A and B are shown apart, each in its own frame.
Chain A
Amino acid sequence: MSELKWGDRELAYDSSAFVRGSGHYVDDIKLPGMIHMSVLRSPYARARILSLKGGMSSKDLGARMASVGEGASPEAGLSIEPVFATGFVNYVGEPVAAVFADDRYKSTDLLESIEVDYEPLEPVVTIDDALKLGPIHSGRKDNIMVETSKGTDFQDPESPIVIEDTLENDRISANPIEPRGIVTSYTDGMLNVWISTQAVHSVKEGLVESLGISPESVRVMQTDTGGGFGSKGGLYPEYVMASYASMKFGKPVKWIETRREHLASTNPGRGVRGKVKIFAERNGRINGLKGEVTIDAGAYDSGIASFSPGFVAMQMTGPYSIEKAFVVARALFTNKVPQGPYRGAGRPEASFFIERMMDMLADELAMDPADLRLLNMSDKPFVSPMGLKIDAARPFFEGAVRELEYRRESKMSRGVGLSFFVLVPAVYPGESARIIVKDGKVSVWLGGNSHGQGHEIFVKKLINEELQVPEELVTLYRGDTGMTKTGVGTWGSRSAIVAGAAIVAVCKKIKQEVEKEFGSYSVRSLLSSGYDEFINNELKMPLNSFGANLATVEIEKMGRVRVKKCAAYYDVGRALNRDMVIGQIQGGMAQGIGQTLHEGLFYNKEGQLITSSISDAGVPLAEDLPNFIVNIVENRSFLPHGAKGLGEAPTVGVPTALTRAIESVSGKRLRRTPVTPEELMK
């Protein structure tokens, strides 16, 4: 492999490079004098560290504790993951020490030279353990990390029908093709960081906080990123170690995660339980909903734990016009790797809870599940008691039932599942964009960067629309904090909305500049001059959209499920590029099938991870996937470019539709994902 001179070479982002095999990933970086880091990790779910000799460890970092670096109260301080375990380890895979050598074989060898004495302690492994056993962190009175509620409590109505159940999504690993990785280099007082990430600014802010250095002395640059699915959104302990080491040793440092490390130590998603009670009339009309949401948050707050419980709770009435609702939600400490966002990040969980309950209520009343849903929808916009804003649901769902041919499908076979959801993209607080026009070319940076979505395709299209610049003259560069003062990141179905809006806004600014200079706008004038405009385009209004899925299945021998059909009907707003939209939906549907049938992280009673290879963790294979049917609805949003959110829609809609299809055909009540052959054979 040729030596790359990073810093000199262009950091242009071009999705077609991945197809041509010419992507430049973080592990492709080779800098003179670079050393490799390997991390010694806890073999215990919970233990006291009696002694530790060798390697870089917490004592080298002094008082620096924070990993995520959110301004912490003394109590919250206990819940933030330390860079290196300090006195105790709290999950299998927690970093204890790091070693460095000039190649990866030697650094791996060096791990064996570290001596650690542990005194194993009784671990808290499950949600039930967390509620029953004493706190994992001394100084706290229990294992409740956060507790909140949404809606207003109400007296149980005297409804003739009351159903109650407990539903759960097991934890799953993000498992992008490329695991995490970082290269750090400290020269002349400047910390340069190259990283596989969804958000260069999050990484930068975290490093600034954790290392206690000034924002001006850190530059974080994104390399090509082979997927993230939420797991590469923020800061991790290894990033702080590698940065600190490059400052201490004066040498570039590289760390590349192994798949085993990914499964053990990268924040997985899901791991949420919902207890839901529904009050209804005999005709199917729902009077009220009460619920409890419990998140298996792991040993520390990964950064979303304080937000997640309320976010799941807020969506628990789904797209239905339920007038009374109250949900208590909490995140619990367990001796497992901190839970984090995974494609959907709270949305699929909430949808699983309400959609499973809708199907159960339909069964209870012997109603058709689509009819029951229709009965509980509004023709007008609706704001739920928990503050969820939705448009008129009924017309959309009627369209979905028609286009997905639900009535025909459900006449033809028993194994049909239908789901309906409202997608809540992470619009807040908007996104930044910068455009430089120089030498007849247009260069673009976004605050949130592509990790496989293909941002450059809509960037070129929108700039062409706004400024009439031919697409071949536009280049999107990878995320770089050196080129954008602020920025957010790519997650939560947000980029087409917020990055798209930022591009439109910065184009308008440039157009005004051109008009000021030349009297009127023309693309020739634009390209003949020079401009450099940055905008931090705030967006705070929710921009929710509807989606529906239909799945049909067969159950083969020994409880093996064969997905026959997986169809989507999504409102994506204006589709900025149809092929990209279809690709997003197909990929997401594969992941939805994965969650439903194959994927799970399983721990034994001692808190040891049993699923320690990618095969064991159960990613779906080609033979598991059906033909996908994609119906795109284009109801423009209020934004100038008309986009709505999309990325997470399939992981919200598919697990619920698929679980229902399996339930219908097996006759077994299904309450959790993954749905295993064992459960179907019971």
Chain B
Amino acid sequence: MHPSSFEYFAPTKMEEALELLSKYGEDAKIMSGGQSLIPLLKLRIASFPYVIDISGVQGLNRITENKEFLEIGALTTISSIADSELIKKRYQILHEAAGQIADPLIRNRGTIGGNISHGDPSNDIPAVAIALKANLEVIGKEGKRIVEAHSFVTDSFTNVLKVGEILNKIRIPVAPDNSGGCYIKQKKSAGDFSVAAIAVQLSLHDNDSVKSAGIGLTSVAPKPTRAMKAERFLEGKKINDSVVREAAKIVVSESDPSTDFYGSSEFKRKVLGKIAEEAINLSFERATVR
């Protein structure tokens, strides 16, 4: 539990952070809350000569809403998200997911940007970002660019960020009326990662048929997964038992879980199927509360 030596920087401005990042390139690693990185360093699963701690960078821990977007700074802690009245009231799915991440100590330090950037297929926020069709704002010395949430994480612990880039903001489109969503996480024990988890967000037409669906999956593939076929299947349909069952089957077909000590891939598919049904039903219920 003793990391190899590294040089530590704690910039307070984004420009300084980007400067350091461009100077040290692939030898540098960005740290925000450190809740995933520090264990990796201590176990020497990873080592970096330069660690750039951006947790002191100003202005990146705000939660704001305008007509189009809910905007969350990348350094916003998971507990700030879990505690936000705005998010609790209008983005229940995100509120639910944040409150189920690890334990209070980790939530107090861990950030939304870190949770997404780390690329761990068991991290919860990416699936929620996928379901909410979030845009991720990435910043580099050359400027900013937008990446869609579902294409941000490209493989286990790998993302689209180029050398010199940092995830800056998470933008979630303001949900139209008649929308509802939920995050259901099945875990072995308190504070643990999930066996399987699912984020579902539904928007309904006035006649209660599905206008748009967003479905993101956690822990059931090498990366956070968008269940796109299930989304398309649901769109335009009215929710009833057989539709939900069929949609859950499609969700399972879009997963690719591995066998580990949480259980066999078969078991995880079974769990995913059950929570998918539960999540679609609950999202629909929430979307129809007027």
A residues apposed to B, CB below 8 Å: 104-105, 108-109, 258-260, 557-558, 598, 600, 602, 610-611, 615-616, 618, 621, 623-624, 676-678, 681
Contacts and interface: CB of A to CB of B under 8 A. Distances in A.
A75 to B, nearest CB: 36
20 contacts: A105-B2, A108-B4, A109-B5, A260-B1, A557-B274, A558-B274, A558-B275, A598-B188, A598-B189, A615-B192, A616-B261, A618-B189, A621-B190, A621-B191, A623-B190, A624-B189, A677-B188, A678-B263, A678-B267, A681-B267
B4 A109 contact: yes
Contacts of A618: 188-189
A573 to B, nearest CB: 36
B64 interface: no
Interface string B136-159: 000000000000000000000000
Contacts of B260: 610
Contacts, number: 50
Nearest to A108: B2
The A interface, classified by DSSP as helix, strand, loop or mixed, is helix
B: interface residue count bin = 20 to 34
Contacts of A610: 260-261
B43 interface: yes
B8 to A, nearest CB: 14
A171 to B, nearest CB: 13
B239 interface: no
Contacts of A623: 189-190
Contacts of B4: 105, 108-109
A108 B261 CA distance: 29
Nearest to A617: B261
Given A105-B5, A558-B195, A600-B261, 6 more contacts: A105-B3, A105-B4, A611-B261, A616-B261, A621-B191, A676-B263
Nearest to B259: A604
Interface in B258-288: 260-261, 263-264, 267, 270-271, 274-275
Interface in B88-107: none
B5 to A, nearest CB: 7
A-B complex: 10 closest residue pairs judged by Cβ atoms: A678-B267, A678-B263, A108-B2, A105-B2, A602-B261, A623-B190, A610-B261, A258-B1, A104-B2, A558-B186
B44 interface: yes
Interface string B53-96: 00000000000000000000000000000000000000000000
A464 B29 CA distance: 63
Contacts of B263: 676-678
A260 B43 contact: yes
Residue with the highest number of chain B CB atoms closer than 10 Å, among A109, A258, A558: A558
A428 to B, nearest CB: 38
B47 to A, nearest CB: 10
Contacts of B43: 260
Nearest to A676: B263
Interface of B: 1-5, 43-44, 186, 188-192, 195, 260-261, 263-264, 267, 270-271, 274-275
A610 B195 CA distance: 15
Given A621-B191, A677-B263, A558 B271 contact: yes
A602 B260 CA distance: 9
A103 to B, nearest CB: 9
Given A610-B260, A678-B267, A108 B44 contact: yes
Contacts of B186: 558
B260 to A, nearest CB: 6
Nearest to A38: B2
B146 to A, nearest CB: 36
A615 B275 CA distance: 24
A610 B262 CA distance: 10
B253 to A, nearest CB: 19
A482 to B, nearest CB: 33
A593 to B, nearest CB: 12
Nearest to B274: A558
Contacts of B270: 681
Nearest to B189: A621
A676 B259 CA distance: 14
A558 B5 CA distance: 44
Contact of A678 (B1, B191, B264): B264
Contacts of A109: 4-5
Contacts of B189: 598, 615, 618, 621, 623-624
Contacts of A260: 1, 43
A623 B195 CA distance: 18
A681 B261 CA distance: 16
A259 B190 CA distance: 20
A108 B44 CA distance: 10
A616 B189 CA distance: 10
A604 to B, nearest CB: 9
A355 to B, nearest CB: 26
A20 B182 CA distance: 45
Contacts of A108: 2, 4, 44
A612 to B, nearest CB: 9
A104 B4 CA distance: 10
Contacts of B275: 558
Contacts of A104: 2
A610 B263 CA distance: 12
Contacts of A677: 188, 195, 263, 267
A383 B3 CA distance: 58
Contacts of B264: 678
A72 to B, nearest CB: 35
A532 B270 CA distance: 69
Nearest to B275: A558
B40 to A, nearest CB: 12
A621 B270 CA distance: 25
Contacts of B1: 258-260
Contacts of B44: 108
Contacts of B274: 557-558
A594 to B, nearest CB: 11
A676 B271 CA distance: 13
Interface centre among B260, B261, B267, B274 (most CB of A within 10 A): B261
A557 B273 CA distance: 13
B76 to A, nearest CB: 26
Contacts of A258: 1
A222 B195 CA distance: 42
Contacts of B267: 677-678, 681
Contacts of B195: 558, 677
A678 B262 CA distance: 9
A130 B190 CA distance: 37
A258 B42 CA distance: 11
A196 B261 CA distance: 31
A681 B195 CA distance: 13
Nearest to A602: B261
